[in-house]
Structure 1
Amino acid sequence: MTVKVFAPAKINLTLHVTGQREDGYHVLDSLVAFVDTGDQITASVAEDNSLTVTGPFADGVPTDGSNLVMQAARLAGLPMQIGLDKRLPPSSGMGGGSTDAAATLKAAARLGADPVTPERALALGADVPVCLRAKPMRMRGIGEDVHPVTLPALHMVLVNPRIAVSTPEVFKQLQVKDNDPMPVDLPQWPDGVAFADWLTTQRNDLQRPAITVVPEIAAVLTALALLPEVLIARMSGSGATCFALFEHRDAAARAAAQLSEGNPWWWVKSASTLPA
C-alpha cells in the first residue's frame, strides 16, 4: 500500500520574539496558518528507510539522515520507502522541512505505525508540532505551546526571491529579544478585511533583521504593497518569503499573475488558507 500526504506551507502571520532562554532558544508568540500550496510525501512500507526527492526544488536536498523526513521516519519507527515532491523553496520561512517531517509522521501512521504525538514530534524541531496539526494555531514558547484559533478565510500572494535565508543569521541581527507578545485575548475577526486591519497592529520582529541579511526582501515587500487591491504585505517566519493579503481569491490570483509576469525570476504563488 502506498499513501500520499500533502505537506502544506506554514505562514507566520505574526511573529513576536518575546525572549531568549539560557539554552539559546528564542521564545516566540506567533499566529500560524497553513495554505493550499506545499510539498507532497509518498510512502510505502519497506525493509529500510529510503528517500527520493523530485520536484522543482529537488536540487541540493539531502536524502540521508540529515533530512528531517528521514529523521521523522526513524522517530515513527516504521521503515518506509519515501518520495518527496519538493515544491516549496528551501530555507524560505514557510516551514518546508518541518511540514515535510510532519507529513512523514502522518504517512507512517496511515501505514500502521503508532501515531507520534506533538510532544514527541518537538524532538524534530520547534515547528514540527504545529505542522503536525496543520490548522490555524497560536504558537508560543519554543513551539511546544500551541492552541487552535479561529481565522477567517485568507487569500494571499506568496513571493520568494529564490534566496535561501539562514534563520540563525537572522536571529543574530535581532537587537531586542524581549519584545511584547500579542494580546492575551485575540479578537473574533468577521472577515479577511478585519483580520488584515488588525494585523497592521502586530509585527514580525524578524522582518527588519532579515532585510539586513537579504536586502531583496525589501524589494519583494514593496512590490507586494503596490499590487491592486492589496490589504497588507508582510514577511513570513525568518524569510525570505513574503505574503500579501487580499479580500478575494480571484484578486490574489490576478495579482500573482501580474507580479510573476513582471518578475519571472521570483517564485510567486496565489494561495488560500486551509480550514480548521
Structure 2
Amino acid sequence: MAEALAPAKVNLFLHVGAPTPDGYHPVCSLMAFADFGDVVSARPGQGGLIVRGPFGQGLGPEQDNLIFRAVRAFVAELGREMGELTFTLEKNLPVASGLGGGSSDAGAALRLLRDVYTPGFDDARLEKVAASLGADGAACLWARPVLAEGRGERLSPAPGLPAVDAVLVNPRVPVSTPAVYRALDVSGAFGDVTPPRVPEAFESAEELAAWLTTQRNDLEAPAVAVAPQVGAVLDTLREEPEALLARVSGSGGTCFALCADDIAAETLAERIEAIAPNWWVQRCRLGGPWG
C-alpha cells in the first residue's frame, strides 16, 4: 500500500479582485501548508474509494469526489488505461472549511498514481492535471509555500518562511464558497490583486505575523456574513495573548492563529478547547512541504 499526506492549505493572505467577464475572480494569495491533514492511500484492488475518519460522513457522492476526478483526469492525460486501484481516504479535515481538503486529497492521489504507474511522468504534465481540477489544484499538488495569482493557477515561489506553530479552529459549520463569493459581489469590496512587495525571507513567526498585518483576506468579511459562527471563532482567537495574528483561511469555515512557538500554540489550543468544546481545534506547524 502506498500512502501520502494531503495537508491542510492555509491562505496567509488572500486578495480577491472584481470578477472578469467570464465570472471568475482574480486572486493573489500566499499559501502555506500544515503538517496535518487528510491521508490518502492506494492499493491494488477492484477500484473504488473507502472513506473513514472523523469527517468522512460529510462528503458528497463517491463519484464526485476529487480523488476520482483526479484519477479520470490522470488517465485522460496518460492516454491509456491503468490497473485498478482502491483508494482509502482518512478524512481528518472538516469539509467546506477553507483548508483546500478536496484539492489536497486530489494532489496526494496524483502523486500516488505517478509513483505507482508512471514514475517518468514529468512534473509539468502532473501540474497540468492538478490545475484542471480547480483553483487550488496546482498549489495543493506539491504542498509547498507558493504565491498564487490568476485563478490560483499561476504559481511563483514564496518568500522564505520559517516553520510556524499555529492553531486551526473551525466551528464545525460548513461554509459554501459560492455563497461567500456572492456576498463579496454584493458588497463590491474587491481588492487589488497586484502582488505586494515581499521580503526575500522571514526569520521568525513574529516577523511574518507583523508583515501579514499589512495584508488581508478579502473573503473574510463575506465569510463571516454567510456564517456568523466564523466571526465568533475569529473574535475569540484575536482576544488571546498567544495569537500573533488571527485570520480566516480561504473562503472560510476555518480560522488560523500564528503563535511564537509550540508552547504558545499548545496553550492556545487547550484554552480554545475549554472555551468552546464543540469547535474543532488542531495544533499544527505551517510551512511545507511535509514528508
* Aligned pair partner of 1:73 in 71, 75, 86: 71
266-275 or 35-44: which moved more?
266-275
Shift in Å at residue 117 of structure 1? 2.0
In structure 2, what is the equivalent of residue 14 of structure 1?
13
Matches within 5 A, 1:258-273: 258-273=271-286
* Secondary structure of 1:93 counterpart: coil
* Aligned pair partner of 1:202 in 208, 215, 232: 215
* Aligned pair partner of 1:111 in 106, 113, 116: 116
In structure 2, what is the equivalent of residue 179 of structure 1?
191
**Alpha-carbon contact 1:42-1:83 (below 8 Å) kept:** yes
In structure 2, what is the equivalent of residue 135 of structure 1?
144
Q: TM-score, normalised by structure 2?
A: 0.90
89-98 or 187-196: which moved more?
187-196
221-230 or 58-67: which moved more?
58-67
Change (3 A) 1:223 1:160: same
Structure 1 ranges of 4+ moved more than 4 A:
none
In the alignment, structure 2 segments of 5+ residues that lack a partner are 76-81
222-231 or 135-144: which moved more?
222-231
Render the CA deviation track for 1:211-245: whole Å, top value 9, x for unaligned. 11001111101111122322111000000100111
Change (3 A) 1:178 1:61: closer
In structure 2, what is the equivalent of residue 154 of structure 1?
164
In the alignment, structure 1 segments of 5+ residues that lack a partner are none
Q: TM-score, normalised by structure 1?
A: 0.95
The one-letter amino acid of 1:185's match is R
In structure 1, what is the equivalent of residue 78 of structure 2?
none
* Secondary structure of 2:132 counterpart: helix
The one-letter amino acid of 2:164's match is L
The one-letter amino acid of 1:254's match is T
**Alpha-carbon contact 1:45-1:111 (below 8 Å) kept:** no
Shift in Å at residue 182 of structure 1? 5.4
**Alpha-carbon contact 1:20-1:177 (below 8 Å) kept:** no
In structure 1, what is the equivalent of residue 256 of structure 2?
243
Which whole-Å CA distance do the structure 2 matches of 1:35 and 1:53 have between them? 21
Which whole-Å CA distance do the structure 1 matches of 2:166 and 2:286 have between them? 8
Change (3 A) 1:275 1:102: closer
The one-letter amino acid of 1:109's match is R
**Alpha-carbon contact 2:26-2:193 (below 8 Å) kept:** no
Shift in Å at residue 133 of structure 1? 1.7
* Secondary structure of 1:14 counterpart: strand
Matches within 5 A, 1:1-150: 2-47=1-46, 49-62=47-60, 64-77=62-75, 78=82, 79-113=84-118, 114=121, 116-149=125-158, 150=160
Render the CA deviation track for 1:230-269: whole Å, top value 9, x for unaligned. 2111000000100111111121011101111221100001
**Alpha-carbon contact 2:35-2:288 (below 8 Å) kept:** no
Which whole-Å CA distance do the structure 1 matches of 2:259 and 2:196 have between them? 26
Render the CA deviation track for 1:59-107: whole Å, top value 9, x for unaligned. 1423522111111112222432000000000000000100001000011
Change (3 A) 1:37 1:257: same
96-105 or 16-25: which moved more?
16-25
The one-letter amino acid of 1:42's match is S
The one-letter amino acid of 2:54's match is P
Identical columns (%): 42
Which whole-Å CA distance do the structure 2 matches of 1:179 and 1:213 have between them? 19
Provide the aligned C-alpha RMSD in A.
1.5
Which whole-Å CA distance do the structure 2 matches of 1:195 and 1:274 have between them? 12
Higher helix share: 2
Number of equivalent positions = 274
The one-letter amino acid of 2:104's match is T
